[in-house]
């Protein structure tokens, strides 16, 4: 009933069309579902971003920065986590795309949305990294995904250049006087390493079965004169503070 109003033209046509064509409003569930999808996607992107940053932090914290003095900028170029930074860039673009699809997504500038995303993922990533999860996830990726190993900095390969004084592997024997060890590298070569005048991190255990990184010099007799010994795996975040304990 639409009495008492003049100029019914458009209103009458529209209402007649709605009724004749049986047009019904799209269900509220459809819009709710869309919202859930969009916000879940944003949540997922934030989560992946947090993980990415935790891995970046872990890689940067655990990087062998002391090698910078020896290798210079090429060391940074070799070890920089390009893959994760590129991933984050892509994730930030996707997050911005999905955020624009939310009801209020247009209210903020691109820089605010991307900046907010980066800030959120940096904070989350730092927390995860401090909790040690970044390193665990990174290790898990390295061990289980061959493609990932292909795109990431190859630590084993990097530490398998005795001619440059970079050796790594597992301790198979420690001499009685503790001055030499035998190290089986990742290419199954056995090395005799002199550690008598070596800087050893506090967390390094010189014992059979330990995996170590050795920075030193190859002498003419096929032995390595170690200058520094570092643990291969975890807990290296504060390594610089640990340095200083001499064998003798």
Partner 1 sequence: MVNHEYCTQNTDNELVKLSLADPDHFFCLIRKYEEKLLHYIMRISKFRKEEAEDVLQNVFIKTYYNLNGFDEDLKFSSWIYRIAHNETISEIRKKISRPSVPFEKEDIDRFEDAFDIIKEIDNSFSRQKIDEALSKLDEKYREVLILRFLDEKDYKEIADILKKPVSTVGNLILRGKILFKTEYEKLK
| C-alpha–C-alpha distance, residues 237 and 63, integer Å | 9
Query: Count of CB atoms within 10 A of residue 65's CB?
Result: 14
Site string for partner 1, 64-103 (x = CB under 8 A): ---------------------------------------x
**Any idea of the CA torsion for 93, 99, 104, 108, to the nearest 10 degrees?**
-20
With CB under 8 A as the contact rule, the residue among 11, 143, 175, 235 that binds partner 1 is 11
List 70, 90, 106, 119, residue binding partner 1 (CB under 8 A):
106
Dig out the tokens for 51 from the structure. Answer: 């993980």
Least CB distance to partner 1 at residue 19 (A): 7
Among 73, 107, 177, 220, binds partner 1 (CB under 8 A): 107
Residue 97 C-beta: closest distance to partner 1, Å: 14
Report the C-alpha gap between 104 and 116 in whole angstroms.
15
Of 19 and 241, which has the nearer Cβ to partner 1?
A: 19
Binding mask 12-41 for partner 1 (x = CB under 8 A): -xxx-xxx---x-xxxx-xx----------
Among 20, 73, 104, 177, binds partner 1 (CB under 8 A): 104
Please say which residue, 26 or 246, places its beta carbon nearer to partner 1: 26
Alpha-carbon dihedral sign for residues 97, 99, 103, 109: negative
Quick one: CA dihedral 63, 68, 69, 74, positive or negative?
positive
- DSSP β-bridge partners for residue 226: 216
* In the complex, minimum distance from the CB of residue 212 to partner 1, in angstroms, rounded to a whole number: 55
> Least distance to partner 1 from the beta carbon of 13, Å?
6
Within a 10 A sphere around the Cβ of 51, how many other Cβ atoms? 22
Q: Please say which residue, 36 or 190, places its beta carbon nearer to partner 1.
A: 36
Q: Crossing angle of helices 110-130/82-100, nearest 10°?
A: 130
Name the phi and psi angles at 168, rounded to 5.
Answer: -150, 160
Shortest Å distance, C-beta 102 to partner 1 = 10
Q: Which two tokens stand for residue 98?
A: 């999905």
Residues interacting with partner 1, by CB under 8 A? Answer: 1-5, 9-11, 13-15, 17-19, 23, 25-28, 30-31, 103-104, 106-109
């Amino acid at each position: 009933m639409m009495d008492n109003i003049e100029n019914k033209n458009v209103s009458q046509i529209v209402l007649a069309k709605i009724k004749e064509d049986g047009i019904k409003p799209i269900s509220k569930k459809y819009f709710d579902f869309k919202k859930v999808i969009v916000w879940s996607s944003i949540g997922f992107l934030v989560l992946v971003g947090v993980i990415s940053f935790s891995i970046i932090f872990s890689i940067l914290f655990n990087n062998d920065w002391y090698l910078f003095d020896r290798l210079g900028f090429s060391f940074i170029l070799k070890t920089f986590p390009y893959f994760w930074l590129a991933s984050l860039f892509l994730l930030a673009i996707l997050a911005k795309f999905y955020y624009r699809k939310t009801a209020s997504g247009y209210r903020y500038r691109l820089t605010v949305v991307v900046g907010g995303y980066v800030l959120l993922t940096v904070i989350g990533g730092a927390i995860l990294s401090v909790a040690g999860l970044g390193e665990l996830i990174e290790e898990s990726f390295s061990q289980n995904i061959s493609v990932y190993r292909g795109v990431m900095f190859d630590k084993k390969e990097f530490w398998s250049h005795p001619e440059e004084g970079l050796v790594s592997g597992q301790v198979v024997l420690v001499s009685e006087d503790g001055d030499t060890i035998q190290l089986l590298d990742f290419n199954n070569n056995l090395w005799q390493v002199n550690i008598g005048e070596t800087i050893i991190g506090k967390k390094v255990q010189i014992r059979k079965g330990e995996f170590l990184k050795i920075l030193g010099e190859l002498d003419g007799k096929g032995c390595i004169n170690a200058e520094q010994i570092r643990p291969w795996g975890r807990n290296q975040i504060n390594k610089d503070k640990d340095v200083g304990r001499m064998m003798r």
